[in-house]
Amino acid sequence: MSRLRQQLGLTLVEVLVTIVLFAVLLVPAISALRTGIVGTGVHADVAANHYRLASAIEDLLTEPFADLNDAATAAGGPTTMSSYSEAAGTPGRLLVYLSVYDGDNADGDDDPFTGGDDGLLWVRVEIEGATGSLETIRARGY
């Protein structure tokens, strides 16, 4: 009868195979972590821009309607920055667009920026060089 031999430790081959497996599997794991870490930085920038835009548009909505209406008339349309925009050269410059708004499409041309209704303004705020913007409609008396 032969005796079964008990294994008392790891052989050098087993240790080398384990090291190679860890090395091969560690590369994709580190790559996945790197993507997650970079993503948190991008999310922080996007969130900061969103809160800055929301704050700016809320500040604009507290302005008297007559002042906003005058600035919209002076701007002349939805593609021209208004006087509420920050000065050129300001880092992360806020751009504010104001225009009269045609809410009922009474002129029938399906263009919300022609034949504006008395008492409706379109407000858009964006950050120069960044993606995303916020826009809303402001009504007289609100």
Q: Which SS3 state, helix, strand or coil, does residue 29 take?
A: helix
pLDDT digits (tens, 9 = 90+) for 79-125: 999 999 999 999 999 999 999 998 888 888 888 888 778 889 999 99
CA 112 to chain centre: 25
| pTM score of the predicted model | 0.72
CA–CA dist 48, 36 (Å, integer): 18
